[in-house]
Amino acid sequence: MRLFRLNPVTRRRWSRFRNLRRGYWSALLLGTLIALSLVAELLINNRALIVHYQGHWYFPTYADVIPGTAFGLDYAYETDYKALRQQFAARNDGNWVLMPPIPYSPFETDLRADQFPPLPPSLADRHLLGTDTTGRDVLARLTYGFRTAIGFSLLLLVFEYCVGVGIGCLMGFWGGGFDLGFQRIIEVWSNIPTLYVIMIVASIVPPSFWTLLLIMVAFSWTGMTWYMRTATYKEKARDYVMAARAIGAGGGRIVLRHILPNTVSTIVTFIPFSIAAGITALSALDYLGFGLPPPTPSWGELLKQGTDNLESLWIVSSVVVAMTLVLTLVTFIGEAIREAFDPKVHIHYE
């Protein structure tokens, strides 16, 4: 598709983006963070990476639950690999366990008889950012929460833009009664306060990831329509559309092959800010207790715990720093994209 082929304009934009160092490095850093969060199970997990037991190799990370009996333990539930590692080390008979750098899962409660959660950060316990009020590792919750948040906002973005761009484009392209009708619908629709609707819905049916996403999409697609409608109106009046029509191109072809690719700069510049908005919205909902059901790791829930337990400063500071960092990165990227796609930059033809 032409949309994704690197034409000279796109190439120029890309090189301009690369030259905006701040935005470019932010994009690289965020990309790395996302990539790392996708393989978080290998870095932060209570399941071992590798177990070598009596000549057999086990890789429990992505596998089925291995009961303790498989390693000669006396229980049928999932193996406690941390304990197993110590046992093997103590016996020193050639068996060994390799644990991830942070040996805690985001759901695992690390509770001790003599200490009460939240525990402060400790290198010895490998709780680099301490634990939360239930004794779960803050870094693990933060990482998996980041994955949830970024995944949520990316999916939100895709659905939202599909609907918003589609309807906005048609409004601009068809115009007339369709445009007028939808304008009124959108005006009414966008005046419904989304957060309140979600709270009301959440109080009746507890939301899951997908229902929450659906509700959010249902109320946030309107934002894009106005920009797309205007952009389409503008493009529709251009000569190349007239030319396409003159050689007999149909409506669908004109919209998809001609108008959409030419409005892509409008769409792209909004993307980073939509992502930031998605993350904030989900965190806000979780903070208020109307978001994803517990014990899903989430930033909003951590933030809530942090503000409720200000004397355990490590909780609130971790999540605030993480959130500020990610939102700043996204904003830097957004600024750079906006600049790179700015049509008002002068180009000299030689």
Partner 1 sequence: MNKLHWRIFGFIVWLAALPVFAQSATPQLPANLHWQTNDADPIFADPAAKRGGRFRTFMSSFPPTLRLVGPDANSGFVTYLRENNLSLVNMHPNTLNPIPELATHWAFDPDGKTVYFKLDPDARWSDGVPITADDYLFTLEFMRSKYIVAPWYNNYYTEIITDVVKYDDHTIAVRESSAKPPNELLFDVAISPTPRHFHKLDDNWVENYNWRVEPNTGPYQIGDIRKGKYVEFKRKADWWGNDRKYFKYRFNPDYIRIKVIRDLNIAYNYFSKGELDSFPLVMPRLWYQKAQGTPYERGYIGKIKFYNDVPQPVLGMFLNEDDPILADRNLRYGLAYAMNFDKVLKTVLRGDYERKQTQNEGYGDYTNRDIRARPFDLQKADEYLRKAGWTERGPDGIRVKNGQRLSLRVSYTSDDHTARLVVLKEEARKAGIELTLQLLDATAGYKQVMEKKHQIAWMSWQGGGIAPTYWEFYHSVNAHKPQTNNITNTDNKAMDDKIIAYRDATDKESRVRLAHELEQMVYEDGAYIPSYKIPYTREGFWRWLRLPPQHATRMSDVVFDPMGSTGGLLWIDEEEKSRVQKARITGESFAPINIVDERWRVKP
Among left, alpha and beta (phi > 0; psi -120 to 50; other), residue 261 is alpha
3-class SS of residue 232? helix
Give dist(CA 44, CA 121) in Å, integer.
16
Based on the shown chain and the rule CB under 8 A, indicate whether residue 339 belongs to the binding site for partner 1.
no
Q: Which long-range contacts (CB under 8 A, 24 or more apart) does 248-257 make?
A: 251/173, 254/173, 255/169, 255/170, 255/173, 257/2
Q: Which of 76, 90, 124, 237 binds partner 1 (CB under 8 A)?
A: 76
Which one of 177-185, 225-233, 307-315, 331-339 is the stretch in contact with partner 1 (CB under 8 A)?
307-315
- Quick one: which H or E segment has residue 95? none
Q: List Cα–Cα distances, 99 to 103, 131, 235, in angstroms.
A: 6, 19, 57
Contact with partner 1 (CB under 8 A) among 113, 237, 246, 347 = 113
Structure-token pair, residue 329 = 């990165």
Taking the complex as a whole, the smallest distance from the CB of residue 342 to partner 1 amounts, in Å, to 45
| Range in contact with partner 1 (rule: CB under 8 A) among 63-71, 81-89, 224-232, 236-244 | 63-71
Contact between 289 and partner 1 by CB under 8 A: the answer reads yes
Q: Does position 183 bind partner 1 by CB under 8 A?
A: no
Q: 108, 137, 160, 235: which one contacts partner 1 (CB under 8 A)?
A: 108
Angle between helices 222-236 and 138-174 (to 10 degrees): 40
Q: Which stretch binds partner 1 (CB under 8 A): 32-40, 109-117, 142-150, 327-335?
A: 109-117
285 near partner 1, judged by CB under 8 A: no
- Which one among 72, 94, 206, 251 touches partner 1, defined by CB under 8 A? 206
Nearer to partner 1, 204 or 246 (CB): 204
Instruction: Please enumerate in sequence order all residues whose Cβ is within 8 A of that of 79, keeping only pairs 6 or more positions apart, or say none.
Output: 60, 66, 67, 68, 70, 71, 73
Measured CA to CA, the distance from residue 329 to residue 323 in angstroms comes to: 10
Shortest Å distance, C-beta 185 to partner 1: 30
β-pairing, 96-98 vs 56-58, is unpaired
Choose, by CB under 8 A, the member of 109, 194, 230, 331 that binds partner 1: 109
Per-residue x/- track, 210-249, partner 1 (CB under 8 A): ----------------------------------------
- Enumerate long-range contacts of 29-33, CB under 8 Å, 24 or more apart: 29/329, 30/326, 30/329, 30/330, 30/333, 33/146, 33/326
Which of residues 65, 158, 243, 345 is near partner 1 by CB under 8 A?
A: 65
Question: Please, which residues bridge with residue 56 across strands?
Answer: 53
According to the binding rule CB under 8 A, does residue 77 interact with partner 1? yes
One of 100, 103, 135, 334 touching partner 1 (CB under 8 A): 135
- Interface residues with partner 1 (CB under 8 A) are 64-65, 67, 75-78, 107-109, 111-113, 116-117, 133-136, 202-204, 206, 289, 293-295, 304, 307-312
